[in-house]
Amino acid sequence: MVAGHLQEKKGLFYMVLNCKDEEGKRKPKWIPTGLTVKGNKKRAEALLLETRVNFNRLLNAAVEETIVEEPIVEQIIEEMPAEVPVDQGPLFSVFMLQWLAMMKHKVEFITYASYHNVITNHVVPYFEEKGLFLKELLPSHIQDYYQYELEENGVTTNTVLHYHANIRKALKHALKNDLINTNPADKIERPKKNDFVGSFYNKQEINILFEKVKGELIELAVILAAFYGLRRSEVIGLKWTAINFVNKTISIQHTVTPVYFEGQEHIIEKDRTKNKSSRRTLPLVPAFEELLLRIHELHALNKAVCGNSYCTDYEEYIYLDKLGQRVKPGYITQNFTRTLKKNGLRHIRYHDLRHSCASLLLANGVSMKEIQEWLGHSNYSTTADIICFNDEWCSDLLIKKDHIALNIS
């Protein structure tokens, strides 16, 4: 698609297409928009995109007739209207960007980053090439896009369903504001969701894993996931204030989550969990209490040894490295995989420790409702979906000296 940009001149927006003459030299084509600079930037950007698409349409039509040479390109430029009409309505790709800009101030940053990734990296590039106006969009166009993602880009059906949720929500806004008469996303055949089946560790594998990580920085993450069923964000976000050594409880109420936005990682701290059900209080078992006390002593020792080099920004958090830096979420995922490979253990995902916790709880006679509350699931079906029924797990895990294992009574 021909490149172009907006240029301000005497208080008005002009579109500048980056064209070339017969000799290949740059010859920009200036096209007035008739729009004043003040308050019309979004509309001017939409017109620019539509103009670029229309230019490509004419160019493609010329390709069908003959080989495109510079004189034909010049002819196309000359035949384009001196001023682009402003009442055609937005292109679908432009509308999606406009909706995205609106949502930036309506949803949390984590949600907006997800919208942004889907729309700018996937939806808009595809439909920008198609040049479809919002009012022209049919269910078949959306269906073709999903098929393209599945076949050409090799994405999963779950990913396509994620794209669909974004498109449908945006079109719902368009319908509400009378930009379209019906929502075409409501009329398509959605692909069937792929049910993910995670791997689980049995009692012997869990105990071996505990032994291998003992004394390592990854130990705390393994124990909190395998015994307490904590999510990675909950492990990183665990604070000393969440531990009640008097009442022997541990409260899950703070999270630290990485968000990737425009090529950069942003760490989001929240004084609340994934959902209301995720905010829970669990018993502080003696073995874990002993581990926490050792960690607290280790923090004090590291601070004394490192002196001014020790970071004091994260002292309220439990999961710190030797220099006082809060352990990064990515460290857990990467180091857990390396730990399994190094010790010849069967590969599972770090999140599968949480699933292993659920199955081990069930094997020890804990009810499904109690497991749901323990893991902080908002829906009973979520708990049921991850439970693995395995008779060989029905006996308790042993508690060994100075290390934690499951022993649910």
Q: Sign of the C-alpha dihedral, residues 237, 345, 360, 249?
A: negative
- Residue given tokens 């969701």 in the structure block: 193
Query: What digits encode the pLDDT tens for the residues 110-145?
Result: 999 999 999 999 999 999 888 889 999 999 999 999
Q: Is the pLDDT of residue 41 over 70?
A: yes
Determine, yes or no, domain membership for 46: yes
Considering the domain architecture, whether residues 283 and 380 belong to the same structural domain is answered as yes
Q: Is the pLDDT of residue 252 over 50?
A: yes
Coil vs helix vs strand at 124? helix
Which whole-number Å values give the CA distances from 41 to 6, 92, 157, 242, in the listed order?
Answer: 9, 18, 37, 48
Could you list the residue range(s) of the whole structural domain that residue 73 is in? Answer: 4-79
β-sheet bridge partners, residue 251: 281
pLDDT-based confidence at residue 80 (cuts at 50, 70, 90): low
Q: Which of 29-38, 118-127, 166-175 has the lowest mean pLDDT?
A: 29-38
Would you state the pLDDT for residue 61? 66
pLDDT-based confidence at residue 100 (cuts at 50, 70, 90): very high
For residues 321 and 220, give the distance between their C-alpha atoms in angstroms, rounded to a whole number.
Answer: 11
CATH number at residue 364: 1.10.443.10
Question: What pTM, to 2 d.p., does this model score?
Answer: 0.67
Query: Which tops the pLDDT comparison, 59 or 151?
Result: 151
Q: Is the pLDDT of residue 406 over 50?
A: no
Length of the chain: 409
DSSP assignment string, 145-194: HHHHHHHTS---HHHHHHHHHHHHHHHHHHHHTTS-SS-GGGGS-PPPPP
Max mean pLDDT among 41-45, 68-72, 115-119 falls in 115-119
Considering the domain architecture, whether residues 327 and 207 belong to the same structural domain is answered as yes
Q: Which of 181-185, 270-274, 287-291, 335-339 has the lowest mean pLDDT?
A: 270-274
For residues 397 and 360, give the distance between their C-alpha atoms in angstroms, rounded to a whole number.
Answer: 9
Considering the domain architecture, whether residues 63 and 120 belong to the same structural domain is answered as no
Domain-ending residue, one of 18, 44, 79:
79
Considering the domain architecture, whether residues 270 and 388 belong to the same structural domain is answered as yes
For residues 78 and 89, give the distance between their C-alpha atoms in angstroms, rounded to a whole number.
Answer: 24
Coil vs helix vs strand at 32? strand
Considering the domain architecture, whether residues 248 and 381 belong to the same structural domain is answered as yes
Determine, yes or no, domain membership for 405: no
Determine, yes or no, domain membership for 61: yes
Would you state the pLDDT for residue 197? 67
Max mean pLDDT among 218-222, 390-394, 399-403 falls in 218-222
Considering the domain architecture, whether residues 163 and 141 belong to the same structural domain is answered as yes
Considering the domain architecture, whether residues 121 and 251 belong to the same structural domain is answered as no
Determine, yes or no, domain membership for 207: yes
Section 254-279 average pLDDT? 83
Domain-ending residue, one of 17, 51, 79:
79
Number of domains in the chain: 3
Q: Counting Cβ atoms within 10 Å, is residue 203 exposed (0-12), middle (13-18) or buried (19+)? A: buried
Q: Is the pLDDT of residue 408 over 50?
A: no
Q: Is the pLDDT of residue 86 over 80?
A: no
DSSP strands (E only) in 145-271: 243-244, 249-252, 255-261, 264-270
Instruction: Count the Cβ atoms, other than its own, within 10 Å of residue 199.
Output: 12
Section 65-92 average pLDDT? 57
Q: Are 327 and 320 in contact (CB under 8 A)?
A: yes
Query: Which tops the pLDDT comparison, 239 or 407?
Result: 239
Considering the domain architecture, whether residues 229 and 351 belong to the same structural domain is answered as yes
CATH number at residue 133: 1.10.150.130
Determine, yes or no, domain membership for 400: no
Would you state the pLDDT for residue 317? 97
pLDDT-based confidence at residue 354 (cuts at 50, 70, 90): confident
Determine, yes or no, domain membership for 404: no
Counting residues of the chain whose pLDDT is more than 70, the rounded percentage is: 80
Residue 24 is given by DSSP the state S
Would you state the pLDDT for residue 84? 47
Amino acid (1-letter code) at residue 346 = R
Determine, yes or no, domain membership for 128: yes
Domain-ending residue, one of 58, 79, 100:
79
DSSP assignment string, 36-91: ESTT-HHHHHHHHHHHHHHHHHHHHHHHHHS---HHHHHHHHHHS-SS--S-S--B
Query: What digits encode the pLDDT tens for the residues 320-335?
Result: 999 999 999 999 999 9
Which whole-number Å values give the CA distances from 279 to 84, 272, 295, 355, 376, in the listed order?
Answer: 55, 7, 24, 18, 7
Residue 266 is given by DSSP the state E
Considering the domain architecture, whether residues 338 and 211 belong to the same structural domain is answered as yes
Determine, yes or no, domain membership for 193: no
Section 172-197 average pLDDT? 89
| Counts for the chain of helices (H) and strands (E), in that order | 15, 8
For residues 93 and 115, give the distance between their C-alpha atoms in angstroms, rounded to a whole number.
Answer: 14
Considering the domain architecture, whether residues 141 and 263 belong to the same structural domain is answered as no
Would you state the pLDDT for residue 81? 53
DSSP strands (E only) in 147-225: none
Considering the domain architecture, whether residues 262 and 388 belong to the same structural domain is answered as yes
- Residue given tokens 């996937």 in the structure block: 122
pLDDT-based confidence at residue 15 (cuts at 50, 70, 90): confident
* Mean per-residue pLDDT over the chain, rounded: 82
Coil vs helix vs strand at 116? helix
Considering the domain architecture, whether residues 100 and 232 belong to the same structural domain is answered as no
Query: Which tops the pLDDT comparison, 277 or 142?
Result: 142
Query: Which tops the pLDDT comparison, 388 or 38?
Result: 38
Q: Sign of the C-alpha dihedral, residues 160, 166, 167, 169?
A: positive
pLDDT-based confidence at residue 45 (cuts at 50, 70, 90): confident
